Homo-oligomer: A and B are copies of this chain.
Amino acid sequence: MKIRIGILGYGNLGRGIECAIKQNDDMELAGVFTRRDPSTVKIMTDGVKVYSVDEAVKMKDEIDVMILCGGSATDLPKQTPEYVKYFNVIDSFDTHAKIPEHFENVNNSAKESGKIGIISVGWDPGMFSLNRLYANAILPDGKDYTFWGKGVSQGHSDAIRRVEGVKNAKQYTVPVENALKAVRSGENPELSTREKHTRECYVVAEEGADKARIEQEIKSMPNYFADYDTTVNFITEEELNKNHSGIPHGGFVIRCGKTGQNGENNHIIEYSLKLDSNPEFTSSVLIAYARAAYRLNKEGNSGCKTVFDIAPAYLCRQSGEELRKNLL
């Protein structure tokens, strides 16, 4: 019997989950749940229905794992503790500062319902966190660096779009090559915000808008751009659609550490991602952890978990024997 997956929220992430399910033949899509009018939502999988989110709870016995594809700002803080009362759930909650609180809320609900809730799954938090943890455990005397990009920041693109006279915009976060080089050399540099990343903006201005003023407003925007070297490129809507319609992302987690009698030996652990599609990759991570949630719950476990709490073998279809033979 296949693992029956529900998707709650059908945006970029929901669509990514739908694609990922097709790559894992121990899983099947059991239903998509939306806050929109279900008749207006068209999905890619034949024979699978779109439901109103209000019908989700009624289907609790037909879904093994519900993947919550809402946003971290307002959706997930409510949805995850709520839906874990009825389902094993996975979310990609990524507001780092609020993870402890979110964990407690989900854990309380999950302990009561006997379900598993895995939170903050994706690549950061997620795979990047795992790599920080492993590298810290191995090299206690060291220093961590995380770089993001080159990739599209939705938040920064949105911020530009709010500037008067801007019709559309896309912002790329770009790691500074020389900073990466310094880190990899084992010099343990202290890097300021400005030294680590630059910001590249592609902006479509409204007709007759004052471009110099727009550029100035973007570059001086506090938190988003003021602390960075920012470049603003004005392009046409056509160019934006042609060259900047993807959602690539990625980044680097690097730890440099010392070992030896007197710390005489240096070691560099580096993990990097280069992703054509941020939401599809995140979805692929979520699906692997959905398998883990299903199995852990089958074994009688409940409560809130993160990627730190889950033995890697739970993510894989293969048996322990196959994994040892083929991947160890």
Cross-chain contact of A276 among B19, B265, B325 (Cβ < 8 A): B265
**Could you tell me which residues of chain A, from 267 to 325, have a CB within 8 Å of some CB in chain B?**
267-277, 280-281, 283-285, 288, 291, 306-313, 315-316, 320-321, 323-325
Instruction: Report how far A313 CA is from B137 CA in the complex, Å.
Output: 9
Contact A328 B306 (CB under 8 A): yes
Residues of chain B with a CB closer than 8 A to A307's CB: 312, 328
Residues of chain B with a CB closer than 8 A to A288's CB: 137-138
Instruction: Report how far A131 CA is from B251 CA in the complex, Å.
Output: 16
A261 at the interface (CB under 8 A from B): yes
Contact A19 B133 (CB under 8 A): no
Cross-chain contact of A283 among B141, B259, B277 (Cβ < 8 A): B259
Contact B272 A44 (CB under 8 A): no
Cross-chain contact of A271 among B44, B270, B277 (Cβ < 8 A): B270
Contact B261 A44 (CB under 8 A): yes
Question: With A259-B19, A260-B19, A309-B311 as given contacts, are A273 and B268 in contact (CB-CB < 8 Å)?
Answer: yes
How many residues of chain A are within 8 Å of chain B by beta carbon?
67
Contact A275 B271 (CB under 8 A): no
**Could you tell me which residues of chain A, from 100 to 148, have a CB within 8 Å of some CB in chain B?**
100, 103, 120, 125, 127, 129-134, 136-141
Question: With A133-B315, A312-B307, A324-B306 as given contacts, are A259 and B277 in contact (CB-CB < 8 Å)?
Answer: yes
Q: Separation in Å of the A302 CB from the closest CB of chain B?
A: 15
Q: List 11 A-B contacts (CB under 8 A).
A: A19-B261, A20-B259, A23-B140, A99-B325, A127-B138, A131-B271, A264-B276, A267-B276, A306-B328, A308-B311, A308-B323
